[in-house]
């Protein structure tokens, strides 16, 4: 049941690609940076609140014996309450989207526009059975509707400025048909694949850091870790999550504008490499502190987590790269879906790879036959992957302006 539940979570993760597509459709160059900076914040908030919900509401009969200790249900099912509280989050998201979220899919918007024109035509035909005065009012309303249609279609060149407004029937006939869904094969071009493969590198490195942080922080000092208690690790990462969310919202747009889009992305990749390199340095700091976690170690942890914040800026940059790489507006969903599939695949590979490398490095160190390279094999491998990722990120365009819609003009032609 646990495995089936986890598979269901992955299957319903399709909303992530939809969210990115909607964000790209409701923003433009003037506000995209500010809007996309909230996506890493949402991930950071969820990563912070999720463990807190699980820890706070597990076994309520034991935690609050005076209030819930007499309820047999909570004794039999100690994990029901945290699962119920967590269920309220997607339920609230569903209700909010159902009530407030407007449709942005181009084909759906086109169908709605055609339906509105059809209603206008039916109203015009019905006016023939009414009085002349009523007919005049309906024709006036029809002309206003046609004028609005002229504004909508003017951008596509289907009407000429200064020409008489078309009738509802003519507007309906001139309305372009909904764009056909793009084929998957049309996405296998360099313009799309370069950002997606960079996204794969980012997801792999980020997931490796997420696995190693609690693993190495909790590993005993004698084995190269820090020996921190679980409560200390949870509090540290929780505080970091709150600070990280504030930094992303307040600083991302300014940093991106200052250093450039690609450089901002590369700073995050370099920050991940710095995180890997800091793990053996923290062990050295622990020796300086007399074999314990002292001021030097906490100073190193602050540096490491501060560098890790830049990786969340890389996520915002990459989301914008992927949205700009879509061959057409109607292919935003397919492009984001392919990117999410790729990232999810490497995220499934990263935990086992990072933890296995760490375990193998410990075995080499315990054998007494390994040199410094063998003891630090996990960090050397991950830093090497980071270097390859930095090299590959040079293939990305320097700015979104240089990557936008070069092929759209060819498609329209």
Instruction: Write b or e for each residue in 178-203: b if 16 or more Cβ atoms lie within 10 A of its Cβ, otherwise e.
Output: beeebeeeebeeebbebbbbbbbbbb
At 129 the pLDDT is: 56
* Structural domains of the chain sorted by starting position, each given as residue range(s) with its CATH number in brackets: 107-174 (no CATH), 188-393 (1.20.1250)
300 — pLDDT class (breaks 50, 70, 90): very high
Provide mean pLDDT across the span 12-20.
Answer: 76
15 — pLDDT class (breaks 50, 70, 90): confident
> Residue 62 and residue 58: Cα distance in Å, rounded?
9
At 84 the pLDDT is: 92
> Residue 28 and residue 311: Cα distance in Å, rounded?
23
Q: What does the mean pLDDT of the chain come to? A: 78
Instruction: Write b or e for each residue in 286-307: b if 16 or more Cβ atoms lie within 10 A of its Cβ, otherwise e.
Output: beebeeebeebbeebbeebbbb
Q: Please determine, for residue 223, whether its predicted confidence score (pLDDT) is greater than 50.
A: yes
Highest mean pLDDT, choosing among 75-84, 268-277, 357-366: 268-277
At 170 the pLDDT is: 44
At 276 the pLDDT is: 94
Question: Could you tell me what percent of the chain has a pLDDT over 70?
Answer: 81
Q: Is the pTM of this model over 0.85?
A: no
At 374 the pLDDT is: 66
Q: Please determine, for residue 268, whether its predicted confidence score (pLDDT) is greater than 90.
A: yes
Q: Which two tokens stand for residue 299?
A: 């100073």
CB 189 within 8 A of CB 329: no
At 194 the pLDDT is: 93
The residue among 42 and 204 whose pLDDT is bigger is 204
Provide mean pLDDT across the span 388-397.
Answer: 94
The residue among 138 and 187 whose pLDDT is bigger is 187
At 218 the pLDDT is: 86
108 — pLDDT class (breaks 50, 70, 90): confident
How many C-beta atoms lie closer than 10 Å to residue 95's C-beta? 10
At 160 the pLDDT is: 33
Provide mean pLDDT across the span 126-151.
Answer: 46
Convert the pLDDT of each residue in 320-355 to its tens digit.
Answer: 898 888 887 777 778 888 888 888 888 888 888 888
């Amino acid at each position: 049941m646990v495995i089936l539940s986890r598979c269901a979570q992955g299957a319903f993760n399709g909303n992530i690609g939809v969210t990115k597509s909607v964000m790209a459709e409701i923003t433009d160059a003037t506000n995209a940076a500010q809007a996309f900076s909230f996506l890493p914040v949402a991930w950071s908030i969820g990563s912070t609140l999720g463990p807190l919900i699980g820890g706070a509401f597990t076994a309520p009969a034991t935690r609050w014996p005076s209030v819930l200790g007499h309820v047999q249900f909570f004794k039999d099912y100690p994990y029901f309450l945290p699962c119920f509280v967590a269920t309220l989050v997607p339920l609230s998201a569903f209700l909010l989207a159902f009530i407030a979220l407007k449709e942005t899919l181009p084909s759906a918007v086109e169908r709605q526009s055609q339906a509105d024109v059809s209603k206008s035509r039916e109203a015009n035909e019905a006016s023939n059975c009414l009085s002349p005065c009523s007919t005049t009012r309906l024709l006036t309303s029809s002309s206003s509707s046609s004028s609005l249609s002229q504004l909508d279609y003017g951008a596509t060149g289907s009407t000429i400025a200064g020409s008489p407004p078309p009738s509802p029937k003519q507007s309906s006939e001139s309305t372009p048909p909904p764009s056909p869904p793009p084929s998957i094969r049309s996405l296998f071009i360099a313009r799309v694949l370069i950002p997606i493969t960079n996204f794969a590198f980012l997801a792999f490195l980020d997931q490796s850091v997420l696995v190693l942080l609690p693993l190495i922080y909790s590993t005993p000092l004698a084995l190269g870790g820090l020996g921190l208690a679980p409560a200390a690790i949870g509090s540290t990462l929780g505080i970091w999550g709150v600070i990280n969310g504030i930094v992303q919202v307040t600083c991302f747009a300014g940093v991106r504008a200052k250093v450039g889009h690609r450089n901002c992305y590369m700073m995050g990749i370099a920050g991940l490499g710095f995180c890997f390199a800091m793990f053996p340095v923290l062990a050295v700091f622990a020796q300086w502190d007399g074999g314990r976690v002292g001021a030097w170690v906490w100073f190193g942890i602050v540096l490491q987590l501060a560098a890790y914040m830049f990786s969340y800026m890389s996520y915002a940059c990459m989301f914008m790269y992927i949205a700009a790489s879509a061959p057409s507006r109607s292919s935003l969903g397919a492009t984001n879906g392919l990117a999410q599939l790729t990232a999810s695949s490497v995220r499934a590979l990263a935990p086992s790879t990072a933890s296995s490398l760490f375990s193998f490095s410990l075995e080499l160190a315990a054998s007494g036959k390994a040199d410094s390279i063998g003891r630090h094999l996990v960090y050397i491998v991950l830093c090497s992957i980071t270097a390859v990722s930095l090299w590959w990120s040079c293939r990305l365009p320097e700015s979104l302006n240089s990557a936008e819609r070069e092929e759209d003009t060819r498609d329209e032609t």
